[in-house]
Structure 1
Amino acid sequence: MKLAVVGGGSTYTPELIDGFARLRDTLPIEELVLVDPAADRLDLVGGLARRIFAKQDHAGRITTTTDIDAGVADADAVLLQLRVGGQAARNKDETWPLECGCVGQETTGAGGLAKALRTVPVVLDIAERVRRANPDAWIIDFTNPVGIVTRALLQAGHKAVGLCNVAIGFQRKFARLLDVNPSEVHLDHVGLNHLTWELGVRLGGPDGENVLPKLLAEHGDAIADDLRMPRQIVDRLGVVPSYYLRYFYAHDEVVRELGTKPSRAAEVAAMEKELLAMYGDPTLDEKPELLAKRGGAFYSEAAVDLAASLLGNGGSPVQVVNTYNNGTLPFLPDDAVIEVQARVGHDGATPLAVPALDPLYAGLIANVTAYEDLALEAALRGGRDRVFKALLAHPLIGQYEYAEGLTDRLIAHNREHLAWA
């Protein structure tokens, strides 16, 4: 089995490598190729990756290349974890929206749109190269904004599934609180990527006992603290919203906070510098503790599980993924990409049935889906007017004065990445 990781020079990658090494019985990789245009980072990450495999007695071969075509040749699956423009572009995404009084974040709002515009054309080009190399290869997308990117891939006819670590993070957290094995915890996880709610927490399987009321009663303070939301709000909802919902439920509060501290991109850039120095140490043969602060917790376990299921090598039969709606949420078009529990196998992902949603959630899902329609159109076809309409449609913006100002700033800060600008 051959896997390729595009964006393999990311400081995330040792987390992925550690998972591949530990879970080799689930996903027996014979060859792993790390692909990245940054040769210097690739050398550092690749060296550590080989040492991690060696320490854990993994017999798989790890190679590195800056050549996408060479890297994906004959791959059974390709994982996408790239960031067009790097942390410098992310820093802009997180700062210039604040000038208009709107949240600055790399996956939602104006910053999220900027990332989609930069990313979708690049991902589609890579996907075409994968298809030419092996039409049967699966593409697993971890590249944000996952929902929009996965939809672009699916609409172009690629064998693709989107992946996010939010659900597995909640699963592991709830398992700790309940003192059970994570495999016993199943989530009624519903929504769009980075716009989800845990409507239930079930023990033993998708039809098991819902222990969410017990979790909220006994651990509500800890859950609310992690979400950075008031306990009374979580109790009134009776569900656990993704921490990304704070951008919607407390937008103005978040904007004020963001204006008083360095961007997350600046923090991550400093952390990456330190991590890369560590990766260059020839005695380091495990992922460093600092990597846990970088983000992407449990990404490796989720990626291994998904790849194993898609490649017919076991894996959990039910996983939270991003895939076509196909009637699951009846108020959305079939080709909307949703994030829900799905049955996953060598034929792809089929969403499980979802009960009728409260309008409080369905309304926001429908609104953001409409924005994502317009965002994908802007990413595929370009044009200032399409960017403006997408921004105007976004519930975190929604006023023409803001949309005009944000459009000008988005284009100015991203001109080098926009072929049409």
Structure 2
Amino acid sequence: MKLTVVGGGSTYTPELVDGFARLGDILPVEELVLVDPDAERLELVGGLARRIFARQGHGGRIVTTADLDAGADGADAVLLQLRVGGQAARQQDETWPLECGCVGQETTGAGGLAKALRTVPVVLDIAERVRRASPRAWIIDFTNPVGIVTRALLRAGHRAVGLCNVAIGLQRKFAALLGTGPREVHLDHVGLNHLTWETGVRLGGPGGADVLPALLAEHGDAVAGDLRLPRPLLDRLGAVPSYYLRYYYAHDEVVRELRTKPSRAAEVAEMERRLLRMYGNPALDEKPALLAERGGAFYSEAAVDLAAALLGGAGSPYQVVNARNRGTLPFLPDDAVIEVQASVGPEGPVPLPVPGVDPLFAGLMANVTAYEDLALEAALRGGRDRVFRALLAHPLIGQYAYADALADRLVAHNREHLAWA
């Protein structure tokens, strides 16, 4: 089995490699190819990756290359984890929206739109090259904004599934609180990427008993504390929102916080410098503890599970993925990309039925889906007016004066990445 990671020079990669090494019985990787244009980073990450495999007795071969076509040739699955513009672009995404009183964040709001505009054309070019190099390869997208990027891939006819680590992180947390194993916890997970709610927590599988009310009664304060949302809000929702919902439910509070502390991009950039220095140490043969602070917790487990299921291996039968709606949520278009539990196999993901969704959640999903439609059009066709329309549609913006000002800033800060600007 050959797997290719595009963006293999990412500091995330040792987390992924560690998962491949530990879970070789689930996903028997014979060749792992790390593709990245940054030769220096690739050498550091590739060296650590080989040492991790060796430490854990994994017999797979690790190849590093800047040649995407060669790296994807004959691949069974290709994982995308790239960041167009790097941390410098993220720094911009997180700062200029604050000038207009809007959340500055890399996957939602105006910053998320900027990232989509930079990313979608690049990912589509990569996917076309993957299709030529290995027509039956599955593309697993971990590149944000996952929902918009996955929709672009599916619209272009690619064999693609979007992946996020929010659900698996909550699954692990709930399992620990309940004193059981993660595979015993099945989430009733519904929404769009980075706009999701856990409306049930079931033991043993989709038909198991829902223990969410008891979980909130006993551990609600701890769950709310992790989300940085008030405990009474969770009780009133009767659900556990993802931490990204704080940008919506406490927007002004978040903006005040972001204006008074260093950006997450600055923190991550410094962390990456430290990690790369560590990766260059020839004695290091395991992922360092600092990597847990980088983000992407449990990414490796989720990626291994998904790739194994898609390739006919021993992956979990039910997984939270980003896939076409196809009537699962009747208030959204069939071609919308939703994030839900799905049955996953070699033919791809099939979303599980979702019972009636609270209008409080459905309304926000419909609004953000409309924004994502407009964002994808702006990414594919360009033009300031399309950027303005997407910003005006976003529920975190929604005022024409803000949309106008943000459109100007977005174009100014991203001109080098926008072919039409």
Question: Shift of residue 291 of structure 1?
Answer: 0.3
Aligned-pair CA distance for 1:157: 0.1
Query: Separation in 1 of the partners of 2:199 and 2:49?
Result: 38
Identify the residue that residue 356 of structure 1 maps to in structure 2.
Answer: 356
1:396-411 aligned within 5 A:
396-411=396-411
Query: How far apart are 1:23 and its partner, in Å?
Result: 0.1
Deviation at 1:313, TM superposition (A): 1.1
Within 2, Cα distance between the matches of 1:10 and 1:396?
30
Paired letter, 2:280: G
In structure 1, the residue matched to 2:16 is 16
* Letter matched to residue 410 of structure 1: L
Structure 2: 5+ residue stretches without partners: none
Alignment TM-score, normalising by the size of structure 2: 1.00
Deviation at 1:361, TM superposition (A): 0.2
Q: Whole-Å Cα distance in 2 between the matches of residues 94 and 206 of structure 1?
A: 38
Once the two structures are superposed, residues 125-180 of structure 1 have per-residue CA deviations (whole angstroms, 9 ceiling, x without a partner) of 00000000111000000000000000000000000000000000000000000010
The residue number in structure 1 matching 2:275 is 275
Aligned counterparts, 1:35-50, within 5 A: 35-50=35-50
SS in 2 for 1:9: coil
Distance 2:67 2:130 in 1: 12
Query: Aligned residue for 1:33?
Result: 33
| Aligned mates of 1:73, 1:120 — CA distance in 2 | 22
1:207 aligns with 2:207: yes
Q: C-alpha deviations, 1:388-415, integer Å up to 9, x for none?
A: 0000000000000000000000000000
Deviations 1:31-73 (A, max 9, x none): 0000011110000000000000000000000010111111111
Amino acid at match of 2:203: L
After superposition, the CA RMSD in angstroms is 0.4
2:336 equivalent to 1:333 = no
Measure the CA separation in 2 of the matches of 1:21 and 1:329.
Answer: 37
Q: For residue 85 of structure 1, what is the aligned residue in structure 2?
A: 85
Instruction: Count residues with an aligned counterpart.
Output: 421
1:170-213 deviation digits (Å, cap 9, x = unpaired) = 00000000010100000000000000000000000011000001
Question: Aligned partners of 1:313, 1:234: CA distance in 2, in Å?
Answer: 38
The 4+ residue runs of structure 1 with deviation greater than 6 A are none
**CA distance in 2: counterparts of 1:308 and 1:82, whole angstroms:** 22
State how far apart, in whole Å, the 1-side matches of 2:5 and 2:126 are. 12
CA deviations 1:306-349 (Å, max 9, x no partner) are 00000011211110000000000001110000000000000000
1:57 aligns with 2:57: yes
Deviation, structure 1 residue 243: 0.3
Correspondence for 1:380: 380
**Runs of 5+ consecutive residues of structure 1 not aligned to the other structure:** none
Structural mapping, 1:386-397, within 5 Å: 386-397=386-397
Residue 35 of structure 1 aligns with an amino acid whose one-letter code is V
2:309 counterpart of 1:312 = no
Structure 2 counterpart of 1:384, which letter? R
Q: Could you say which residue in structure 1 is the equivalent of 2:262?
A: 262
- State the 1:303 CA deviation: 0.1
1:294 aligns with 2:294: yes
**Residues of 2 paired with 1:312 and 1:417: CA distance?**
38
Q: Secondary structure of 1:25's match?
A: coil
Give the aligned residue type for 1:312: G
Separation in structure 1 between the aligned mates of residue 69 and residue 100 of structure 2, nearest angstrom: 41
CA distance in 1, matches of 2:203, 2:136: 35
Secondary structure class of the residue paired with 2:196: strand
Matched to 2:186, the amino acid is H
What CA deviation, in whole Å up to 9, does each residue of 1:257-292 have, x standing for no partner? Answer: 000001000000000000000000000000000000
Match of 2:252 in 1: 252
Between the aligned partners of 2:235 and 2:312, the Cα distance in structure 1 is: 41
Alignment of 1:90-105 (within 5 A): 90-105=90-105
Q: In structure 2, what is the Cα distance between the partners aligned to 1:156 and 1:326?
A: 17
Q: 1:222 Cα shift?
A: 0.4
CA distance in 2, matches of 1:295, 1:329: 30
Report the equivalent of 1:110.
110
1:119 aligned onto 2:119: yes
* Percent identity between the two aligned chains: 82
The aligned residue for residue 224 of structure 1 is: 224
1:73-101 CA-to-partner distances (Å, cap 9, x unmatched) read: 11000000000000000000000000000
Indicate the SS of the match to 1:209: coil
Match of 2:173 in 1: 173
Deviation at 1:235, TM superposition (A): 1.1
